[in-house]
Amino acid sequence: MSRVLGPEPVWRWEPGSLEGVFRECDCGGKGYLSGEDLKMAVVTIFGYKPSKMETDRMMAPALGKHLPGMSLDQFLSLMSSKVATQDGYEQTRQIFTAFDVHCRSFLSREDFKRAFASVAPHLPEQTAFEAFRELDWDSDGRVSYKDFETVMSYV
C-alpha cells in the first residue's frame, strides 16, 4: 500500500468518529460507500490511500452479497478492526523508537539496560539482559524492529 501524506488520522485524534467519516465520504448520501468513497474514508481515518487490491479486498463482502456498496454496519465493523490493529502497531512502533535512542533501527544490549532502568528500576539488571537475549535470536547483539514487533504481538 502506498503512503500518501494526508490529514492526521482520525483514530489518533477523534476516536469514535467512524460514523461521521462514513457520512462525510458517502458521496450523494446514498447510504453506502462505493470503492472510491471507501478509499477516501481510509485516507481520512489512517492517512494513506489504499491500493486497488486492498480496496477490492475490503469491498468483497458487500459486493459478494450483491449490495451496491458497503453499508454503515459493514464499514463500522471493518474500520473498528483496522483501528484496533493500527493502534497496536503504532504503540509497538513508539515503544521501539523510545528504546532506540540512537536512531539506528536496532536495539543494543545497552539500549535494553537503559530502557529497563527507566521503566522498571526495581528489576535487576540481569532481567534486562535475559529479556534482550530472548529477543536477540541470531545472537548478533542487536534486536531489529521486526524481532521486537514479533515478540510484542504476544504481549
Each residue's pLDDT tens digit, 35-64: 999 999 988 887 778 889 999 999 999 888
Q: Where are the domains of the chain?
A: 18-88, 101-154
Integer Cα distance of 115 and 106 in angstroms: 14
Can you name the CATH fold of 101-154?
Recoverin; domain 1 (1.10.238)
**Chain mean pLDDT for the chain:** 82
Does the structure show a pLDDT above 60 at 129?
Answer: yes
Q: Which long-range contacts (CB under 8 A, 24 or more apart) does 110-118 make?
A: 112/143
CA atoms within 13 A of residue 71's CA, in its CB half-sphere:
9
Percent of the chain with pLDDT over 90: 30
Rounded to an integer, the average pLDDT of 117-141 is 85
Does the structure show a pLDDT above 80 at 104?
Answer: yes
Domains 18-88 and 101-154 agree in fold = yes
**pTM of this prediction?**
0.52
| CATH classification (class only), 18-88 | mainly alpha
